[in-house]
């Protein structure tokens, strides 16, 4: 049985948050549809607010703390990313962008990505096409055609007990699952080992 690994990035700040709620539903739908196609699926959900201090320190020091380094390695090893951000000032949150900025720009190349956003008004729904999609296009990812926006009115139910949001979630997750069933994204080569100067000099002197 082939396996696929999905990392879910939730940039919500509250507890609980609508971004996390949407992220959970997208992940569950994608996992269900991949499993129905015969794939073994591993899902890891990351609350970016828990990494905020480590991300900020990474910018200042240039080094990732052990927990952040572990998370980054997990993202790089994933086959697909579900990215969910709340909307602030008509764009993704600063925390969301900061986390993306600490990744190697090449580490997401070729990965399947499902985009989603939450906000307090429908006026922000264009953030998906005018902020998030260009960002992940720049990173050379394979983006599912359908992105999901959820405003306050989307969390209710229709008179028949159904939910328009659920239908959009299943459609987007199905497209994302389809991308994951194709060729797996290439993995970055192992980082080159940095040797002490004295060892490098010794190697040159020895004619190596």
With bands split at pLDDT 50, 70 and 90, how would you rate the model's confidence at 157? low
Per residue in 94-115, pLDDT tens? Answer: 999 999 999 998 999 999 999 9
pLDDT at 56 over 90: yes
Report pLDDT digits (tens) over 178-198: 999 976 666 655 554 555 656
- Which pLDDT does position 133 carry in this prediction? 98
Rounded CA gap, 35 and 170, in Å? 14
Domains and CATH numbers, the chain: 3-205 (3.40.50.360)
pTM of the model: 0.86
Distances in Å between the Cα of 138 and the Cα atoms of 98, 167, 185 are: 16, 29, 16
- pLDDT > 70 fraction of the chain, expressed in percent and rounded: 84
* pLDDT of 206 above 80: no
Other CB atoms within 10 A of residue 14 CB: 10
What was the pLDDT predicted at 123?
Answer: 84
Looking at residue 199, its pLDDT comes to: 62
């Amino acid at each position: 049985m082939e396996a696929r690994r999905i990392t879910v990035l939730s940039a919500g700040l509250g507890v609980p948050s609508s971004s996390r709620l949407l992220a959970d539903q997208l992940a569950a739908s994608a996992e269900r549809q991949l499993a129905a196609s015969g794939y073994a699926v591993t899902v890891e959900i990351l609350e970016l607010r828990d990494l905020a201090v480590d991300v900020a320190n990474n910018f200042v020091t240039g080094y990732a703390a052990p927990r952040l380094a572990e998370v980054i390695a997990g993202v790089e090893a994933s086959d697909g990313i579900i990215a969910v951000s709340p909307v602030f000032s008509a764009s993704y949150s600063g925390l969301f962008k900061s986390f993306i900025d600490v990744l190697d720009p090449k580490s997401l190349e070729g990965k399947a990505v499902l985009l989603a956003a939450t906000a307090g008004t429908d006026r922000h729904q264009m953030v998906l096409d005018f902020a998030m999609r260009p960002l992940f296009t720049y990173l050379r990812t394979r983006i599912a055609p359908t992105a999901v926006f959820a405003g306050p009115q989307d969390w209710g139910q229709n008179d028949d007990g159904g939910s328009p949001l659920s239908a959009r979630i299943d459609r987007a997750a199905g497209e994302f699952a389809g991308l994951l069933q194709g060729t797996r994204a290439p993995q970055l080569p192992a980082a080159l080992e940095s040797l002490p100067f004295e060892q490098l000099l010794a190697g040159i002197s020895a004619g190596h």
